[in-house]
Amino acid sequence: MQAEPGAVVIAVGRNDDRRAFLTGAAIAKRDGRAIVLVDRSSEGFTDPYMDLRGDDVNRPSPDRLFNENIARREGRGLLVNFLEAARLLGLEAGGWFPVKAGADGLAEAARRFGGSIVVLPPEAAKPGLAERLRGMALDKLTAQLGAPVLVAK
């Protein structure tokens, strides 16, 4: 699945994701946009796509979005809920595991899948030290992403 240009990129996988999802879904529904859910919980020291399962077209790939069935198989319950909710709202949506942390991962998602707006959870308004080190300070984030950034309330 590929999102059309103008997709809403929503950062999930940390803290109050529900508000970020609801805000992003409202924008997508209003404007007829697709949704790219970036699961930031997969950020870490290992590649989320590296495993020993061999070639399997049903496993996540950094080059394409995945649906709720793959999210379920990967054990991403919250992401499954968001993908199912988007489908029930009549929205095209897919999940993606970032291959880089923080702002770099969101920027990569926007580039790969045509994101034109990024929605962050409420706590992004005052990022902690770890998030600032990942480039998630709002004053720098918009320039790095090359797209408007909206913090959910």
Q: Which of 29-38, 53-62, 124-133, 141-150 has the lowest mean pLDDT?
A: 53-62
Span 68-75, average pLDDT: 90
pLDDT at 57: 66
Mean of pLDDT over the chain: 88
Measured CA to CA, the distance from residue 60 to residue 40 in angstroms comes to 15
Listed in sequence order, the residues at least 6 apart from 132 whose beta carbon sits closer than 8 Å to its beta carbon are none
CA quadruple 56, 62, 66, 71: dihedral sign? positive
Contact (CB, 8 A) for 34 and 10? no
pTM of the model: 0.88
Span 28-49, average pLDDT: 86
* Residue 96: strand pairing partners: 38
Res. 89 pLDDT band, cuts 50 70 90: very high
CA quadruple 86, 83, 3, 112: dihedral sign? positive
Is it the case that residue 81 has pLDDT exceeding 70? yes
Tell me the three-class secondary structure of the chain, residue by residue.
Answer: CCCCCCEEEEEECCCCHHHHHHHHHHHHHHHCCCEEEEEHHHCCCCCCCCCCCCCCCCCCECCECECHHHHHHCCCHHHHHHHHHHHHCCCCEEEECCCCCHHHHHHHHHHHHCEEEEEECHHHHCCCHHHHHCCCCHHHHHHHHCCCEEECC
CA quadruple 88, 93, 98, 99: dihedral sign? positive
Measured CA to CA, the distance from residue 92 to residue 74 in angstroms comes to 20
Is it the case that residue 53 has pLDDT exceeding 70? no
Q: Which CATH number fits domain 7-46+61-151: 3.40.50.620, 3.30.70.890, 3.30.1950.10, 3.40.50.300?
A: 3.40.50.620
